[in-house]
Structures are given as structure tokens and as C-alpha cells.
Chains A and B, each alone.
Chain A
Amino acid sequence: MKKLLFLLLTSNILLLTSKAQDNDKIALAFKNSYTNETAAEYTNAIQNIKEVYAADNYEINLRLGWLHYMGGLFTESQTYYQTAMNLKPYSVEAKFGYVYPAAALGNWEQVKKQYVDILKIDANNTTALYRLGLIYYGAEDYMKAFTNFEKVVNLYPFDYNSLLMLAWSNFKLAKTREAKILFQKVLWASPSDASALEGLGYIK
């Protein structure tokens, strides 16, 4: 019995020691990667993290996603962000990360999907609402754009960017009275704003 207890204790200590050593390795790898990233040495930064790579580690995959994006390796970046998303499906952070390489590749359908997925998790995420609104606006789907911008303005009534886009969405939907009021509010936030003045010019 004593022997068994001794064995259990020893193995636990060994396990804890080994985990602590792993943790130290990973922490050092991250530290070195930050240093290399600051110096724009992305290949070295990637190498730092790859030395401790584990496919089931969310943080490592997330970090590699970012570093590959910064190094211009967009498809590889997407792969790591996707792995991170698979490990933590409710991670809004990983989805926002994925958006960067997807946009760089011109894969806007994938970008849109990430924002839609983010809003399923966090329905009032204003960043996703605003950016998705911009995508819809660019695609001339003004109704959907309006819905997104309206939600943001409801939460942040005096936010310049979303007020302006809500004004333009109203204008495109021929709601000129609402658009006029909104453009005027934009001018309170940003006097002499060129875009707001342009919008008001069309309405007059």
C-alpha cells in the first residue's frame, strides 16, 4: 500500500514537473515570437511557435494564424485559424482572425460567413454588425445593410461611422426624410463631414 502511494505521488510530481516544463517552453516560444514579430521577422516568429506546436492547442494555432497572415501566407493562415475555430467553436476571436486572410485572398463570401457566425454567438457584436453591414452595402443589398447599421446605432446612437452608413442606407432605400435627419446628426459628430454634406446635397 505504501509502495502504491509512493508510486502515485512520484508519478503525479513527475507529471506536474513535465507540464510545468512544457508550459515554460511554450511561454518562452510565445515571448520569442513577440520579439521577432516586433522586428517584422515573421518567419522566425513562426518558427518559434512551430517548435512547440500541438494541433490541439488553441492559443498556438491562433498565434500561427496571425503570424502567417502577417507574413503574407494567407492560405496557411486560414488553415491555422480554422483549426483554432474547430478547437473552440464559440471563439469569436478566432473568427475575427480568420477574416483577415480571407479578405486578403478576396474570399469575401468566407468573410461574410464569419460575421454571420459571430452574430449567431453574439447577436449584438457591433464590430461584426458594422462590417457585415458594409459588405451588404457594397453588394447593393441596402435593406440588409440598413438592418445591421440600425442595430449598431441603437446600441451606440452617436457613433460616427454607423450613423453615417445608416444615413446612406436610408438614402438608398429612398427614405430621404430619415436620411436627412441622420446626415445632420453626423454633422454634429463631425462638422463639415464631406460624406454627410454630399448626402444632404442629393436630398436637397
Chain B
Amino acid sequence: MRLILVVVFFLQIINSAKAQSPLTFSEVESRSYKLYSEQKWDSLIDYLRAANKAGINYYYLQARLGAALYEKKKYRSAAFAFQKALNYNSADSYAKNSLYYSLLNSTNTTASRYLSGKSESIRKETDTLGYNKMGFIYAEGGVKFCNKKEPLGNINYFNLGLRHSLGRSITLYHAFSFLGQYKHYQQIKQSNYYLGAWIQLGVNWKLCPSVHLFWINKSQQTEIPISPPRPLARASKSNEQAFSLVLQRSFRVFDLGAMASYNNFDGIKAGQFGGYLTLYPFGSNVFSATTTAVYHTRKMAAYQTVFKETINFKLLKYLWLTGEYAYGNEQVQLQSEATFPANNSLDPNNYRYSILLTSPISKSVSLYGFYQHEDKDENATNVSYTFNSIIFGLKIKL
């Protein structure tokens, strides 16, 4: 028994020594080429990553790594490998085209379009695929159900959005939305126009400014609310604005963003400053998790620091789920292509959570359903109430 243990012990030392013997270029080149030719993608990825850690790096290593990651559908990681390959050989059309398709397949269409603008060869080969001036149309509508119909009321909502590009570096998103709240003693109608932009500053940098304009019409109150006693509100019109700026840098398995926003909701000027980290642990969009922290400048207890967690993953072959939980009152949300980018309600959120289900029903059309629960406190009375929103939408690729 002792002899067996001794033998096993020495074998482990030998194996350990073998594993630690330094890799040489010729070994890496011949073995990686063999694995590449045999299309053993998992082994190739592990081997090339080990070689890279051992200090061996050159064009073909990164190009083969990119190819293996691409074959495994880890498009995000593949994109970074091809970028490294291009650092060694900036004119290489294989690496350029592969980078383009990796970005496109990881749904980073703004970056892929930006890249096509930098390369005539990509434009020639891919113009029918990646670049179209008109992007998407969104149409969505729904109801926010309030649990306290007196003195509050449900809100009807409708939104029409259009995404299109301006050249190859800028993508714009326009949204026209309408909200109507019908309390039995007053009506509030709000029209919004939202304009957001994604400006691609490089393959891995995005700048996202936005402006959100609100036109609010309140009718004359027909009776005094139950509590507390206050004079009848007159009919009024007001305009509000919100501006935001997000700067995002992409890395292989995560995005890092910083944001700042300004709004004049309720006639009070306020700002939000914060940042977010989005993780892509599998090197693709199959699963991502975003943690956001935002600080409010509005000095009221209701406007504390906001923490938000968002996860996004592929639930089934044709079904994507996005779940979100936000603690605190986030007045201006980070850019999103649907739902409300801004919450200009007088009544702040304590917390909210939501679920978005998206299903592509064809190459051009996706359907989505959105549910959100908001826990709020009424501004004047501090009475707690909730909104449960149900929204359905359609996204059509043009």
C-alpha cells in the first residue's frame, strides 16, 4: 500500500512537471494548427489561451482562437480575438470580415456598421447584410393598473419608435409616446418625444446622448380629493425635459458604463450620476447581468441612491427573458429601446421589478410582452400604492 502511494506521489510530480514545462512557439504552432485543421474547437480554445498566458502571441494564434470561438458561437469573445489579430495585421481581410460577422452575430450592430465604414472590403462583401439606413419600427401599448383607483387612476400608454442610422457611426432612436391618466375628477395627458443616439467612437466605445421632452396637460379638477383638503387644481400645461449621457467601453466579457443625466421634473432641477457593469460570462449574449448604481442630487428622502440589477438570457430557442429589479427612484433610466426611458411621475418609486419576454416570430418581426410592478408613495399624502403595467409590443426590422 505504501509503495502504491509513493508511486502515485512521484507520478503526480512528473505529471505536474510535464504540465509546467514551458510551451515553445513551434509546439504551439504545430499543435494549434493540427487542432484547427481537425476542428477541435474546445481543445483549441483551451490550448491557445494557455499559450497566450505563457507569453506566446502572434497573428495566427489570435486568428485561430477567434475562429474557434466563432464556431462555438461565442461571438463576443471571438470579436476580441479578431481585434487582437488585427493589431498584428491591420490590413488582413480575413480578420476584418470575421470581426464584422462576430460583432453582427453578437447583436452589436452599431459596432459592425462602424467597422464596415472603415473598410472598403467589408462594405463590398457585406453591405446587403449589416448596413441598412432604416433599422427598426417599434409599436407598443398597454395599461398601468393602479391598485388605488381613488384618488389615482389607471394610465393608458402607447408608444411608437423608430430606429435608423445616420452614416455608419451614428444610430438614432425616436420615440413618440402618449400617456393618459383618467381619474374621475381630473384627466392628465402627457405626450413625450424621446431622441436617443448611439455614437460609435471606435469598435469598443459608445457614446449615448439622449433628450426626452414632455408636454403635460392637466384638466381642471372637478372635485376636491378626499384627503388632505386642498384647493381645486386648475387646468395647466407644463413642459419638462430630461437629458442624459452614457459612455460605454466594451471588454471581452464585460461592458463598463458611466452615466449622467439632468431633468427638471416637477419644476425641480436634479441630476443623476452613476455607472454600470454588464457581465457576459459565456462570451456571448446568451446570458448577461448588469449591475447599476446611481446617485441622485435631489435632496429628498424619497430620492435615495438607486441600485438596479438586470439579467438577460435566452430562455428557449425563440424566447428571451429580461428581468430587472430597481431599488430607489430612478428618474432617468439608461437608454432602452422600448418602455419608459424616464419616470417623471410626481410620486417616487420605492422599488420596482419587471419582466420582459421577447420572441422573434420571423426574421423581421419580434413580439414582446412586458410586466412591471412599481411600489410608490403618493407625493402629497405619502399613501403607498402600486402600479402593475402590462405592455405588449411589436418590433419590425425594416
Contacts and interface: CB of A to CB of B under 8 A. Distances in A.
B90 interface: yes
A13 to B, nearest CB: 45
Interface string B254-296: 0000000000000000000000000000000000000000000
Given A105-B58, A105-B59, A140-B120, A73 B25 contact: yes
Contacts of B58: 74-75, 105-107
A72 to B, nearest CB: 6
B26 A72 contact: yes
B43 interface: no
Interface string A100-118: 0000011111100000000
Interface in B39-87: 56, 58-60, 63, 85, 87
Interface string A13-57: 000000000000000000000000000000000000000000000
B91 interface: yes
Contacts of B384: none
A140 B85 CA distance: 18
Contacts of B120: 140
A106 B60 contact: yes
A71 to B, nearest CB: 8
A109 B90 contact: yes
A107 B26 CA distance: 16
A108 B88 contact: yes
Contacts, number: 47
Contacts of B92: 106, 108
Given A75-B56, A75-B58, A109 B88 contact: yes
A73 B24 CA distance: 9
Interface residues of B, number: 18
A138 B92 CA distance: 9
* Most chain A CB neighbours (cut-off 10 Å) among B59, B60, B63: B59
A139 interface: yes
Nearest to A106: B59
A74 B60 CA distance: 12
A183 to B, nearest CB: 23
Contact of B88 (A74, A106, A135, A138): A106
A108 B62 CA distance: 14
B338 to A, nearest CB: 40
B121 interface: yes
A107 B25 contact: no
Interface in A70-121: 72-76, 105-110
Given A72-B26, A75-B25, A76-B25, A108 B89 contact: yes
Given A73-B26, A140-B121, A107 B91 contact: no
A144 B264 CA distance: 53
Nearest to B90: A109
A79 to B, nearest CB: 10
A110 B25 contact: no
Contacts of A76: 24-25
B121 A107 contact: no
Contact of B59 (A107, A135, A139): A107
Given A72-B26, A139-B91, A108 B56 contact: no
A140 B60 CA distance: 22
A121 B274 CA distance: 51
Given A75-B58, A140-B121, A107 B88 contact: yes
Interface of A: 72-76, 105-110, 135, 138-140
Given A73-B24, A105-B88, A106-B85, 9 more contacts: A73-B26, A75-B25, A105-B59, A106-B58, A107-B88, A110-B88, A138-B91, A139-B90, A140-B120
17 contacts: A72-B29, A73-B24, A74-B29, A75-B56, A105-B59, A105-B60, A106-B85, A106-B88, A106-B92, A107-B58, A107-B59, A109-B87, A109-B88, A109-B89, A138-B91, A139-B90, A139-B91
